[in-house]
Structure 1
């Protein structure tokens, strides 16, 4: 009789458990070609399960070719099924999903940047928007859509962006994307190729560097300081003009600076001289604490700027909703690139977002969470200054969901990050995002958007104990 491990407490059905057990034994060679399986009745009695459980498991194995049936003789293991050492990975069919550290209660205080206060996501209101769409949208909304996105959302978004960010565009210039990452990938697909040049801030998000390099581009790093890109470092004249200059002017990532108007005008002049575009990533511009949000560069030179926006930092990364605002000359190319990437972004989510913005829920939500983020930012900066005094210098505290802390006399090595993590605190190195390495190993990125004030204070206390400065 075959020995089978059947567990009624598992979420997997008994049929699937039995099928998996027999399949694994065949693949491992524990039972070989020609082996006669027990009758369905005898195996059911042995395992104390319904005979139908065994019959359905056998029928699935038969359908997939693991076993053969001989009329009046029963079931036999088929030939040519033994997979040797490769079978072990297959034996883990339907493993239990691993929990993240947050879910498993590991106890880390994770100062990850760019994550909003997930517990404040307006579930009830958003749920009503989704429900309305499902109940009231015409049948065509449930079919294939246009690659550039729903006209209704693009009209609402164009008005919102002009009012809030000073972005000047018609709805036809907007392409809805599945988050900012897809927007960046589309830019790379349309504008870059082997031999292309991208001038970009240094440091800048590692993932963005990877996307552009993967398209074959060469990156020319332009140093960033406490005010963003240093315009004096832009090479001019050059033998080969860049395809574009990439900036995060409202809140430079990771250093946190805001590009002043003088530098913005220099950047536009440079783009006109080079006959290239400016790619403006405006990823968390709504969250500014000492003044109104800074207007986008796009409003100063719409014909030169490709503007990227996202709702991941404002609402939730789980929504995967972003957009591109394009110069009119590029719209058709991006529509085609979007079509061949994923056809279109979820129509139902687009329509829900359209209602959410049009009825004023987005602006009310931003106003509410800004108050929370301002408190968390103050809690963090006060705790750092209390703990480290003059030994810490804080960058970029006027906006966004993170700050950068520079510690005099400390180099954040892998060993130091490991010690912090062992002590229950997770920080992130600025140096990881540097194009030219060695200039920022005294700095760490500390996000506070999704960290409670209690955890902020405790996290800084642990930092003080571990860093011992």
Structure 2
């Protein structure tokens, strides 16, 4: 007779308990091929359960091929159902507290003030959009995105960023990361050269290297990429730049260097990929016009709403030269079919009704206030040992601390005292030039967190013996 313990206190249905235990005994060889099982009446009596429980368990095992029924003879273990068992790796137990960093003041860059997301407005637009959407909206959609959003975006970007494009040139993506991945699939083959600013986001380096590209770094200064150093004998597939707000050092590429880039791209027949990730938040004057507006047929322009509104929306866009549109649409389709149609419609209304511009205007004042408070705290706490750069735009700035070296050991010491900071060196291609610089993000932090974080940072640096 089969030994199958039944636990009625579990949430698992009784038939499932019987099914799982017989299945396990067959797989590990405790029940052998051609071995006859008890009848459903016998087993139900033995286990003191309804016969229907056993019938349902047997039916499931028969359907999956673990058992075979022989007319007039009974139910038997099927041949070939034994699976040699290997030692299982120990289970990893997730804990609610493992990812809880409430005690950590995290100066991560690029995070907006999530508590100030315009929830009521978004909820109102969401409610009306869901109620008014046609049945077809709930089906499969175009890979390039909803026409409503692409039309609104083309008008908005021309007005605010000088982007020159038709709605048909826009592909809506699930954030900037997908846009970058599409660019790599669209343009790159193994061993192609990509010219990049150095330093530049490590994640972007990884995306391009994964496609087999060879990275050619060009150093940056306070004005962005040093375009005078563009190579004459190493022809790239494209040049990746963040001209409106270089990440991470914060420079803005002047018109002379933009023209150099365009002339170089014409001469070498390469593309320019422009990542415009947070230039809406410019605190000295209006946002700088895009590079794309100068050369629409050579520039691929990437934007996102992660830093303007929320990363949770997973909404970005890629603007393409006209001859790349069809291929990119195909790649987008085979990537994820399309981005959420209803979220696109909500965002389209949010922009078209003027809510986005009002939100940006409101948040610029808040972020500027937090930036100024952070600068005040840094200068007050570190005195003449600190140099602050790249603070005119965006949600982060660069802190350069005299005689410091932000090694892994020091970063660990800083985290031990309850602060997370991010070395510029982590984003460099050629190492060793930014050892005393860290990226400090502030958009998501309150003033009291900023003040305490700077205090802890100072304490960690000057109480350690890692550097003199």
The normalised TM-score by structure 2 is 0.86
What stretches of structure 1 of length at least 5 have no aligned partner?
none
Whether contact under 8 Å (1:5, 1:21) holds in the other structure is no
Query: Which of 165, 169, 187 is the equivalent residue of 1:169?
Result: 165
SS at match of 2:110: coil
SS of residue matched to 2:325: helix
Matched, 1:297 2:291: yes
**Secondary structure in 2 aligned to 1:219?**
strand
**Residues 249-281 of structure 1, C-alpha deviations (whole Å, 9 max, x = no match):** 111111111112222222222222222221110
Q: Is the 8 A contact 1:431 1:441 kept in 2?
A: yes
- Determine helix, strand or coil for the equivalent of 1:168: coil
Question: In angstroms, what is the RMSD of aligned CA positions?
Answer: 3.1
Distance 2:75 2:410 in 1: 61
Query: Does 2:251 correspond to 1:257?
Result: yes
> 1:303 offset after TM fit, Å?
2.4
The question of 1:143 aligning with 2:146 is answered: no
| Cross-structure match for 1:203 | 199
The worse-fitting range, judged by mean Cα deviation, of 397-406 and 70-79 is: 70-79
3-state SS of paired residue (1:303): coil
Q: Is the 8 A contact 2:27 2:82 kept in 1?
A: no
Aligned-partner Cα distance in 1 for 2:323–2:164: 15
User: Match for 1:444 among 438, 452, 455?
Assistant: 438
Q: What's the offset of the Cα at 1:198? A: 1.2
Larger radius of gyration: 2
For 1:385 and 1:418, the matched residues in 2 are separated by 24
- Out of 188, 191, 198, the residue aligned to residue 184 of structure 2 is 188
SS at match of 1:223: strand
What corresponds to 2:21 in structure 1?
A: 22
Matches within 5 A, 1:41-440: 43=47, 60=60, 63-64=63-64, 80-86=81-87, 88=88, 98-99=95-96, 101=98, 104-105=100-101, 107-235=103-231, 237-238=232-233, 240-440=234-434
- C-alpha displacement at 1:426, in angstroms? 1.3
Structure 1 contact 115–401 (Cα < 8 Å) conserved: yes
Is 1:456 the counterpart of 2:450 in the alignment? Answer: yes
Native 8 Å contact 2:272 2:299 kept in 1: yes
Question: C-alpha displacement at 1:357, in angstroms?
Answer: 0.6
Alpha-carbon distance, 1:81 to partner: 3.8
Contact 2:238-2:271 at 8 Å conserved across structures: yes
Structure-1-length-normalised TM-score? 0.86
In 2, the alpha carbon distance for the partners of 1:226 and 1:388 equals 22
Partner of residue 466, structure 2: none
Cα distance in structure 2, aligned partners of 1:27 and 1:201: 59
In structure 2, how many angstroms separate the alpha carbons of the residues matched to 1:327 and 1:57? Answer: 59
CA distances 1:408-434 after superposition (whole Å, capped 9, x unpaired): 211111111111222211111211111
Distance 1:418 1:96, change over 3 A: closer
User: What is the total number of aligned residue pairs between the two structures?
Assistant: 455
Q: Answer yes or no: is the 8 Å Cα contact 1:429–1:445 preserved in 2.
A: yes
Please give the secondary structure, in 2, of the residue aligned with 1:468. Answer: helix
| SS of match in other structure, 1:340 | helix
